[in-house]
């Protein structure tokens, strides 16, 4: 097939795929339940992958999309792949839990992360977590320091009152 555009000849058409925009979703089976993960991009050699874990009541999209879709992040995203981890039942379209299901503790959720890394064939990660996700990644880093290159943690104190708790406390007094 040949196309002519202002004296330029297009002899062959190829589809170019931006591999970073590729979102591959996986469900990883663990002793503490099925963990839903979304891999953005293709891991590059020995470079660590950014592994995110969200806060309670969120999922990877509601927690991280604003940051990772920001234009200033495009330079970083050219060099790193991202593996978003959603806690059980938190991803979009998740089924409701069966009767009697016991939700894993934060420590148990941290124990699922080595299985996530193994599933994707990852040697090490840079962890990014907010709230409960920050605690889970800290626990993971303490238990498996050879799998963690670094951490970026926001609001790590799992016992701290959130602003809604603070406001409710003020109103009830």
Domains of the chain plus CATH, in order, are 16-92+103-172 (3.40.50.1820)
What does the pLDDT look like over 18-64, one tens digit per residue? 444 578 898 999 998 889 999 998 888 888 899 999 988 888 888 88
Residue spans of alpha helices (H) in the chain: 60-68, 74-77, 106-120, 132-143, 163-172
Q: SS3 for 98?
A: coil
Pairing of strands 82-86, 33-40: antiparallel
Give me 78's structure tokens. Answer: 């050219």
Residue with tokens 């234009």: 71
The stretch 78-97 carries a mean pLDDT of 84
Q: What's the pTM?
A: 0.77
39 Cβ contact partners less than 8 Å away, ≥ 6 residues apart:
23, 24, 25, 26, 81, 82, 83, 84, 120
């Amino acid at each position: 097939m040949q196309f002519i555009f202002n004296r330029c000849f297009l002899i062959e058409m190829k589809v170019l795929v931006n591999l970073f925009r590729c979102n591959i979703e996986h469900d990883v089976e663990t002793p503490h339940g099925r963990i839903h993960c979304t891999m953005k991009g293709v891991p590059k050699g020995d470079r660590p992958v950014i592994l995110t874990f969200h806060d309670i009541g969120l999922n990877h999209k509601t927690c991280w999309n604003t940051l990772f879709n920001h234009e200033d992040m495009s330079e970083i995203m050219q060099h790193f792949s991202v593996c978003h981890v959603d806690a059980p039942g938190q991803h979009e379209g998740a089924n409701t839990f069966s009767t009697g299901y016991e939700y894993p503790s934060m420590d148990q959720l941290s124990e699922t992360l080595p299985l996530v890394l193994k599933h994707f064939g990852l040697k090490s990660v840079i962890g990014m977590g907010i709230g409960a996700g920050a605690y889970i990644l800290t626990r993971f880093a303490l238990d498996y320091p050879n799998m963690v290159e670094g951490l970026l943690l926001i609001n790590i104190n799992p016992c701290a009152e959130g602003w809604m708790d603070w406001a409710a406390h003020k109103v009830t007094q």
